[in-house]
Copies of this chain bind each other. A is one copy, B any other.
Protein backbone atom coordinates (compact mmCIF):
# COMPACT_ATOMS: atom_id res chain seq x y z
CA UNK A 1 0.00 0.00 0.00
CA UNK A 2 1.31 3.43 -0.92
CA UNK A 3 1.05 6.02 1.83
CA UNK A 4 0.82 9.73 0.98
CA UNK A 5 1.90 12.95 2.59
CA UNK A 6 -0.92 15.46 3.15
CA UNK A 7 0.20 17.25 -0.02
CA UNK A 8 -0.38 14.16 -2.14
CA UNK A 9 3.27 13.16 -2.56
CA UNK A 10 3.75 9.39 -2.17
CA UNK A 11 5.69 8.48 0.96
CA UNK A 12 8.87 6.58 0.14
CA UNK A 13 10.24 4.79 3.18
CA UNK A 14 13.65 4.30 1.65
CA UNK A 15 14.08 7.79 0.22
CA UNK A 16 16.63 8.93 2.80
CA UNK A 17 18.68 5.82 2.33
CA UNK A 18 18.48 6.18 -1.44
CA UNK A 19 19.42 9.80 -1.71
CA UNK A 20 21.95 9.74 1.14
CA UNK A 21 25.18 10.81 -0.45
CA UNK A 22 23.61 11.70 -3.79
CA UNK A 23 21.51 14.61 -2.57
CA UNK A 24 22.05 16.56 -5.75
CA UNK A 25 21.10 13.95 -8.30
CA UNK A 26 18.26 14.73 -10.61
CA UNK A 27 15.81 11.98 -9.56
CA UNK A 28 15.80 12.93 -5.86
CA UNK A 29 15.30 16.59 -6.75
CA UNK A 30 12.54 15.80 -9.18
CA UNK A 31 10.67 13.83 -6.54
CA UNK A 32 10.55 16.88 -4.33
CA UNK A 33 9.58 19.37 -7.01
CA UNK A 34 6.97 17.12 -8.60
CA UNK A 35 4.96 17.52 -5.43
CA UNK A 36 4.20 21.07 -6.68
CA UNK A 37 3.29 22.11 -3.13
CA UNK A 38 -0.28 22.49 -4.29
CA UNK A 39 0.56 25.12 -6.90
CA UNK A 40 -1.47 25.41 -10.02
CA UNK A 41 0.22 25.45 -13.40
CA UNK A 42 -0.71 29.12 -13.63
CA UNK A 43 1.00 29.98 -10.34
CA UNK A 44 4.13 28.12 -11.40
CA UNK A 45 4.25 29.90 -14.74
CA UNK A 46 3.72 33.25 -13.02
CA UNK A 47 6.68 32.50 -10.76
CA UNK A 48 8.77 31.47 -13.75
CA UNK A 49 7.86 34.72 -15.52
CA UNK A 50 8.84 36.65 -12.42
CA UNK A 51 12.23 34.93 -12.50
CA UNK A 52 12.65 35.69 -16.21
CA UNK A 53 11.69 39.34 -15.64
CA UNK A 54 13.92 39.90 -12.62
CA UNK A 55 16.88 38.37 -14.41
CA UNK A 56 16.39 40.39 -17.60
CA UNK A 57 15.69 37.26 -19.66
CA UNK A 58 12.19 38.03 -20.95
CA UNK A 59 9.16 40.24 -20.25
CA UNK A 60 6.11 38.00 -20.20
CA UNK A 61 2.97 38.65 -18.14
CA UNK A 62 -0.37 37.03 -17.54
CA UNK A 63 -3.13 39.35 -18.67
CA UNK A 64 -5.70 40.44 -16.08
CA UNK A 65 -9.10 38.73 -16.18
CA UNK A 66 -11.43 40.83 -18.34
CA UNK A 67 -14.35 42.18 -16.34
CA UNK A 68 -17.43 44.24 -17.12
CA UNK A 69 -17.86 46.76 -14.32
CA UNK A 70 -21.43 47.85 -13.62
CA UNK A 71 -21.33 49.62 -10.27
CA UNK A 72 -18.52 51.28 -8.33
CA UNK A 73 -18.71 52.92 -4.90
CA UNK A 74 -16.40 55.80 -4.08
CA UNK A 75 -16.39 55.96 -0.29
CA UNK A 76 -14.78 58.99 1.33
CA UNK A 77 -11.21 58.48 2.49
CA UNK A 78 -10.90 54.94 1.17
CA UNK A 79 -10.37 53.08 -2.07
CA UNK A 80 -13.08 52.73 -4.71
CA UNK A 81 -15.04 49.47 -4.32
CA UNK A 82 -16.48 47.61 -7.27
CA UNK A 83 -19.95 46.49 -6.12
CA UNK A 84 -21.25 44.84 -9.28
CA UNK A 85 -19.20 43.35 -12.08
CA UNK A 86 -19.29 40.34 -14.39
CA UNK A 87 -16.70 38.10 -15.96
CA UNK A 88 -16.25 38.65 -19.68
CA UNK A 89 -14.93 36.07 -22.08
CA UNK A 90 -11.31 36.79 -22.96
CA UNK A 91 -10.73 37.59 -26.61
CA UNK A 92 -7.08 36.60 -26.53
CA UNK A 93 -4.79 34.11 -24.81
CA UNK A 94 -3.65 34.37 -21.19
CA UNK A 95 0.02 35.23 -21.61
CA UNK A 96 2.06 37.42 -23.89
CA UNK A 97 5.28 39.36 -23.96
CA UNK A 98 8.66 39.76 -25.58
CA UNK A 99 11.77 37.58 -25.60
CA UNK A 100 14.92 38.40 -27.57
CA UNK A 101 13.02 40.31 -30.23
CA UNK A 102 10.25 37.72 -30.50
CA UNK A 103 6.62 38.30 -29.65
CA UNK A 104 5.53 35.43 -27.38
CA UNK A 105 1.88 34.39 -26.97
CA UNK A 106 0.51 31.34 -25.19
CA UNK A 107 -2.13 29.58 -23.14
CA UNK A 108 -1.46 27.30 -20.16
CA UNK A 109 -3.72 24.29 -19.67
CA UNK A 110 -3.86 21.26 -17.41
CA UNK A 111 -5.62 18.02 -18.14
CA UNK A 112 -6.27 14.94 -16.00
CA UNK A 113 -6.72 12.95 -19.18
CA UNK A 114 -4.02 10.37 -19.61
CA UNK A 115 -3.97 9.63 -23.30
CA UNK A 116 -5.11 12.83 -24.99
CA UNK A 117 -5.61 16.58 -24.61
CA UNK A 118 -9.25 17.62 -25.13
CA UNK A 119 -9.84 20.45 -27.57
CA UNK A 120 -12.67 21.84 -25.44
CA UNK A 121 -9.91 23.48 -23.40
CA UNK A 122 -9.96 26.18 -26.09
CA UNK A 123 -12.41 28.69 -27.44
CA UNK A 124 -12.70 29.62 -31.08
CA UNK A 125 -11.53 33.21 -30.50
CA UNK A 126 -8.33 32.00 -28.82
CA UNK A 127 -7.45 29.91 -31.87
CA UNK A 128 -8.31 32.87 -34.11
CA UNK A 129 -6.08 35.10 -31.98
CA UNK A 130 -3.13 32.70 -32.18
CA UNK A 131 -3.53 32.36 -35.93
CA UNK A 132 -3.56 36.16 -36.30
CA UNK A 133 -0.42 36.42 -34.15
CA UNK A 134 1.41 33.79 -36.17
CA UNK A 135 0.58 35.72 -39.32
CA UNK A 136 2.49 38.63 -37.71
CA UNK A 137 5.43 36.27 -37.00
CA UNK A 138 4.60 35.85 -33.33
CA UNK A 139 5.67 32.68 -31.50
CA UNK A 140 2.51 30.89 -30.32
CA UNK A 141 2.11 27.72 -28.28
CA UNK A 142 0.32 26.04 -25.39
CA UNK A 143 1.93 24.86 -22.19
CA UNK A 144 0.14 21.58 -21.45
CA UNK A 145 0.43 19.72 -18.19
CA UNK A 146 -0.65 16.09 -18.11
CA UNK A 147 -1.43 15.93 -14.41
CA UNK A 148 -1.48 12.14 -14.08
CA UNK A 149 1.79 11.79 -15.96
CA UNK A 150 3.48 14.74 -14.21
CA UNK A 151 4.70 15.91 -17.60
CA UNK A 152 4.68 19.38 -19.10
CA UNK A 153 4.94 20.02 -22.83
CA UNK A 154 5.35 23.15 -24.86
CA UNK A 155 3.05 22.36 -27.75
CA UNK A 156 3.56 24.44 -30.92
CA UNK A 157 0.38 25.96 -32.25
CA UNK A 158 0.59 24.23 -35.63
CA UNK A 159 -0.31 20.94 -33.89
CA UNK A 160 -3.26 22.56 -32.12
CA UNK A 161 -4.48 24.15 -35.37
CA UNK A 162 -4.22 20.83 -37.21
CA UNK A 163 -6.55 19.05 -34.79
CA UNK A 164 -8.78 22.08 -34.23
CA UNK A 165 -9.41 22.58 -37.93
CA UNK A 166 -10.21 18.89 -38.44
CA UNK A 167 -12.70 18.43 -35.59
CA UNK A 168 -15.44 17.76 -38.12
CA UNK A 169 -13.75 14.37 -38.61
CA UNK A 170 -15.03 13.50 -35.13
CA UNK A 171 -11.72 13.61 -33.20
CA UNK A 172 -12.17 16.12 -30.35
CA UNK A 173 -8.75 15.76 -28.73
CA UNK A 174 -5.05 15.65 -29.55
CA UNK A 175 -3.50 12.24 -28.83
CA UNK A 176 -0.81 12.22 -26.14
CA UNK A 177 1.58 10.34 -28.46
CA UNK A 178 1.26 13.06 -31.04
CA UNK A 179 1.95 15.79 -28.47
CA UNK A 180 4.94 13.85 -27.14
CA UNK A 181 6.32 13.56 -30.67
CA UNK A 182 5.76 17.13 -31.87
CA UNK A 183 6.23 19.14 -28.65
CA UNK A 184 9.03 20.03 -26.27
CA UNK A 185 9.14 18.34 -22.87
CA UNK A 186 9.80 20.89 -20.13
CA UNK A 187 11.47 19.43 -17.04
CA UNK A 188 10.94 21.06 -13.66
CA UNK A 189 13.82 23.06 -12.24
CA UNK A 190 14.42 24.88 -8.98
CA UNK A 191 14.36 28.29 -10.65
CA UNK A 192 12.55 29.03 -12.86
CA UNK A 193 10.26 26.15 -11.90
CA UNK A 194 9.02 25.74 -15.45
CA UNK A 195 11.89 26.77 -17.74
CA UNK A 196 9.67 26.94 -20.79
CA UNK A 197 11.93 29.35 -22.69
CA UNK A 198 14.19 26.35 -23.36
CA UNK A 199 11.28 24.98 -25.39
CA UNK A 200 10.74 28.38 -27.00
CA UNK A 201 14.38 28.42 -28.13
CA UNK A 202 13.92 25.03 -29.76
CA UNK A 203 10.68 26.12 -31.39
CA UNK A 204 12.29 29.29 -32.77
CA UNK A 205 15.18 27.24 -34.18
CA UNK A 206 12.74 24.91 -35.86
CA UNK A 207 10.67 27.76 -37.32
CA UNK A 208 13.85 29.26 -38.79
CA UNK A 209 14.64 26.08 -40.69
CA UNK A 210 13.52 26.05 -44.31
Contacts and interface: CB of A to CB of B under 8 A. Distances in A.
A86 B79 contact: yes
Max chain B CB contacts within 10 Å: which of A98, A103, A133? A98
A91 interface: yes
A190 to B, nearest CB: 23
A64 interface: yes
Interface residues of A, number: 38
A120 B109 CA distance: 39
B99 A96 contact: no
B81 A81 contact: no
A53 interface: yes
B92 A81 contact: no
B105 A98 contact: yes
21 contacts: A53-B132, A56-B132, A59-B136, A59-B138, A64-B64, A64-B66, A64-B67, A65-B67, A67-B82, A79-B87, A80-B87, A82-B82, A83-B83, A83-B84, A97-B103, A98-B137, A100-B136, A100-B137, A101-B103, A101-B137, A102-B103
Given A61-B91, A82-B84, 6 more contacts: A53-B132, A59-B129, A80-B87, A98-B133, A100-B136, A100-B137
